[in-house]
């Protein structure tokens, strides 16, 4: 049984959005699930912003509280360490930079000891750091070295937020597939906003995971 799923990726890759949607998906089949917000460097568009929604749905949230909620100083919530000793499925939203990934590096042995896990690199090829293979490879290497853990797969998340079209998704995913081949990593899922699922169905071979934006500011919502 997959006990831990880690989503990491650069700023704007969509990893927090995907982590939120994925933990809600898991809750449909699991009595208990945990979202651990380890994106402790970036206070913007953080998965912990949806704590109230998740807790209403019976999802446990491990994240900074109070004044630490918007802190830009990496500080590990102590309850995450305790929860790693249990066997409740956990989704980890991991910062996509060297400082943030280093926080996970101190936990990686506990994550591996608790059972089967996936560490997934979220790639939106329309972000500056992911627009070509050398930049993407540099990010992957930095994150793996800092987290002291190798990625096991890729999440393709091609979008331009409110300017997304079917062609944007398909063309972006084709680029992500090139990255995946170069890195010799499987694409575990292609995340697509719900309104586009029927439009891309049959045009994408990999598993499509529909998402509902939960962190998008109102001014970017259609």
The domain ranges of the chain are 4-220
Digit-coded pLDDT (tens) for 103-122: 888 889 999 999 999 999 99
What is the rounded CA–CA span in Å between residue 14 and residue 159?
9
**Over residues 195-219, mean pLDDT:** 89
Return the ∠ at Cα 117 (arms to 96 and 1), rounded to 5°. Answer: 150
Quick check: 44 pLDDT over 60? no
Query: What does the pLDDT read at residue 92?
Result: 94
Q: Where do the H-state alpha helices sit in 61-186?
A: 78-83, 98-105, 108-114, 133-147, 166-183
What is the rounded CA–CA span in Å between residue 126 and residue 171?
10
Task: Domain 4-220: give its CATH superfamily.
Answer: P-loop containing nucleotide triphosphate hydrolases (3.40.50.300)
Query: What does the pLDDT read at residue 135?
Result: 93
Digit-coded pLDDT (tens) for 133-172: 999 999 999 999 999 999 999 999 999 999 999 999 999 9
- For every residue of 12-26, DSSP letters joined together read TSSHHHHHHHHHHHH
Digit-coded pLDDT (tens) for 45-96: 567 778 889 999 999 998 865 444 444 444 555 678 889 999 999 999 998 7
Query: What does the pLDDT read at residue 17?
Result: 95
1-10, 40-49, 161-170: range with lowest mean pLDDT:
40-49
Query: What does the pLDDT read at residue 38?
Result: 85
Quick check: 173 pLDDT over 70? yes
What is the rounded CA–CA span in Å between residue 109 and residue 115?
11
Query: What does the pLDDT read at residue 65?
Result: 55
Query: What does the pLDDT read at residue 67?
Result: 45
């Amino acid at each position: 049984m997959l006990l831990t799923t880690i989503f990491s990726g650069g700023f704007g890759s969509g990893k927090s959005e995907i982590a939120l949607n994925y933990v809600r998906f898991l809750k449909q089949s699991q009595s208990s699930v945990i979202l651990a917000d380890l994106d402790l460097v970036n206070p913007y568009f953080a998965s912990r912003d949806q704590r109230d929604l998740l807790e209403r749905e019976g999802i446990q949230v491990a994240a900074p509280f109070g004044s630490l909620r918007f802190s830009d100083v990496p500080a590990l919530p102590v309850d995450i360490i305790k929860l790693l000793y249990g066997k409740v499925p956990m989704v980890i939203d991991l910062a996509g930079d060297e400082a943030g990934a280093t926080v996970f590096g101190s936990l990686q042995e506990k994550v591996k000891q608790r059972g089967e896990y996936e560490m997934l690199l979220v790639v939106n090829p329309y972000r500056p750091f992911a627009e070509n293979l050398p930049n993407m490879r540099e990010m992957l290497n930095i994150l793996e070295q800092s987290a002291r853990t190798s990625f096991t797969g890729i999440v393709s998340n091609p979008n331009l937020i409110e300017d997304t079209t079917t062609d944007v998704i398909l063309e972006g995913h084709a680029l992500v597939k090139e990255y995946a081949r170069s890195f010799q990593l499987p694409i575990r899922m292609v995340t697509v906003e719900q309104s586009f699922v029927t439009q891309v169905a049959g045009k994408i071979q990999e598993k499509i995971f529909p998402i509902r934006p939960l962190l998008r500011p109102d001014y970017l919502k259609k």
